[in-house]
Amino acid sequence: MSPETPEVYRLNKHLALQLGVSRREADNLIEEGIVTINGTPATLGARFSDGDTIAVNGKDIKNDTAYEYIVLHKPIGYVCSRRQQGDTPTIYELLPQKYHHLKPVGRLDRESSGIILLSNDGNFAFTMTHPKFAKTKIYNVRLEDELAPLHQQMINDHGIQLEDGSSTLQLERMNDTDRKSWIITMKEGRNRQIRRTFGALGYTVAKLHRTNFGNYSLGDIKVGEFEVTTIR
């Protein structure tokens, strides 16, 4: 490219970065006709150059954002939300203000602990959470009662029917003498799926802790602390 030729950028990629959405969501905004380049409505597949003005709903979109990724060790008692729910604190109270623009990638409920990813990269969030990418998640789970061998086999081999479909988890005992503590591997991520799966068989989950999410793990990150990371 000669010095006289301006560099050209993909519009949907730019919107995804600046707005913290996926490229598919950026394309939806373009299709709605609310994205403009120099005042002209943009079309799917559009590109732009340095110096062009990009706006969404009439508001100019800046070009000064870089992708950021964080691994947080969420404690029990925090919600993965920007908005506080009653007296329950949010995970953003664990982060410096400069990271409050990042969005959670997936969720853990208030009574669960473990790894949470946050990012402003909408495409990253999409590939980490959409079912078609089947990202592996690993949990340490403690039940209030011992899990019967038959129920273990049912969950592993056949799945448990829930109101939103069958739930199959891969269960592994943490040790040979304890049938309350389990390592669970799954590639789904439906709302409270583990708790509902055991609940359907009459069990109560006393502790649920996520150690791995895709290529990411907690490692040595202490409870309530975080690390800045990169795409793996």
Mean pLDDT, to the nearest integer, of 64-68? 77
Please state the domain count of the chain.
3
> Among residues 74, 70, 83, 60, which one has the least CA distance to residue 120?
70
pLDDT of residue 22: 82
My answer on whether 146 and 196 are in the same domain is yes
My answer on whether 177 and 193 are in the same domain is yes
Q: Does residue 2 fall inside a structural domain?
A: no
Taking the model in full, what pTM does it have?
A: 0.77
Task: Report how far apart, in Å, the C-alpha atoms of 177 and of each of 49, 134, 180 are.
Answer: 64, 32, 9
pLDDT of residue 50: 79
> Among residues 30, 20, 25, 22, which one has the least CA distance to residue 123?
22
121 counts as catalytic: no
My answer on whether 152 and 37 are in the same domain is no
My answer on whether 48 and 94 are in the same domain is no
Taking every pair of C-alpha atoms in the chain, what is the biggest distance, in angstroms? 72
My answer on whether 110 and 221 are in the same domain is yes
pLDDT of residue 5: 58
My answer on whether 158 and 171 are in the same domain is yes
My answer on whether 114 and 222 are in the same domain is yes
Q: What is the CATH number of the domain that holds 93?
A: 3.30.70.580
% of residues, the chain, pLDDT over 70: 96
My answer on whether 140 and 199 are in the same domain is yes
Q: Which of 39, 60, 81 represents a domain boundary (last residue)?
A: 60
Domain with 17 in it? 8-60
My answer on whether 46 and 91 are in the same domain is no
Marked catalytic residue, from 50, 60, 87, 109: 109
pLDDT of residue 64: 63
